[in-house]
Amino acid sequence: MSLTIYGTSASRASRPLWAAHELGVTYQHEPIHYKDAGVKTPDFLALNPNGRIPALRDARPDGEVIVWESMACVLYLARLYGQPDGQGITPSTPAEEADALRWAFWVVTAVEKEALSVLFQRMVLPAEQRNAEVLAVAVQRLQAPMSILEQHLQQQQTKGCAYVAATRFTVADLILASVVAWAKPATALFEQRPLLAAWLENCLARPAQQTVRALARQGR
Ligand SMILES: N[C@@H](CCC(=O)N[C@@H](CS)C(=O)NCC(=O)O)C(=O)O
């Protein structure tokens, strides 16, 4: 079996890379960049016709599997490479499975666009291209979903759970944190929501996440 993850860690490919490191999976990394022509070559388009990263190729005894869409890649890795034993990130009960799925769909529809806008307006764009109004709208639109997460974490705390789906860090936390982290430069969102802030820092401090950030520093 051999697993290849395509995409630089300074992209949404950080999500399957983070999952792979949480799971201790051996993989090959093709750190192609979304700004490079590499994502639009016929070879890559045959892998992902969207011409976007991440994508993964899993050569299995029963045939090759191709996955694209970052959250699908993460869920695939957790399902195929983890054990549902209640120890690691893989959901181990129907409720945990449902949590992973619902938070994945929710975060890409309710949070990702605005969180990315915060990242671009505060960190990525050159100063002269930043727009305070665009930033303010994004932060305003994030208020409700961030409160939903804060309330959920509060409910989890009353059940003795420090994470969104269980007493341990699971793929649901990875999925959520990988998107919510983009909104970090909007510090007021987190100052007003202490459980969310603490949970996010806890997720981002994980060794597997640190490893992926180190890859980004190396330009991989
Ligand atoms: N919904 C997709 C979005 C993928 C995506 O837009 N990836 C960016 C990098 S983070 C990309 O490859 N952009 C290149 C392009 O749009 O040409 C996912 O989550 O995988």
pLDDT digits (tens, 9 = 90+) for 63-75: 999 999 999 999 9
Domain spans of the chain, in order of start: 2-82, 94-206
Identify the H or E element spanning 29: strand 28-30
How many Å apart are CA 207 and CA 220, to the nearest integer?
Answer: 17
Distance between alpha carbon 220 and the CA centroid of its chain, in Å?
Answer: 17
Cα separation, 48 vs 39, in Å, equals 9
114-132 residue pLDDT tens:
999 999 999 999 999 999 9
CATH code reported for the domain at 94-206: 1.20.1050.10
Q: Does ligand 1 come within 6 angstroms of the Cβ of 14?
A: no
Distance 12 CA to ligand 1 centre (A): 7
Average per-residue pLDDT in the chain? Answer: 97
pLDDT-derived band at 142 (thresholds 50, 70, 90) equals very high
Q: With beta carbons less than 8 A apart as the criterion, state whether 162 and 199 touch.
A: yes
The CATH number, out of the four listed (3.40.50.11540, 1.10.340.30, 3.40.30.10, 3.30.420.40), of the domain defined by the range 2-82: 3.40.30.10
Quick one: pLDDT band at residue 140, thresholds 50, 70, 90? very high
pLDDT tens for 187-212 read 999 999 999 999 999 999 999 999 99
Q: Is the CB of 12 under 6 A from ligand 1?
A: yes
In the numeric block, the tokens 């305070």 are attached to 132
In the predicted structure, residue 167 carries a pLDDT above the cut 90: yes
3-class DSSP state of 193: coil
User: Measured on CA atoms in the order 31, 36, 41, 47, is the torsion positive or negative?
Assistant: positive
Distance (angstroms) between ligand 1 centre and the Cα of 68 equals: 10
HEC-encoded secondary structure of 72-136: HHHHHHHHHHCCCCCCCCCCCCHHHHHHHHHHHHHHHHHCHHHHHHHHHHHHHCCHHHCCHHHHH
pLDDT at 87 over 80: yes
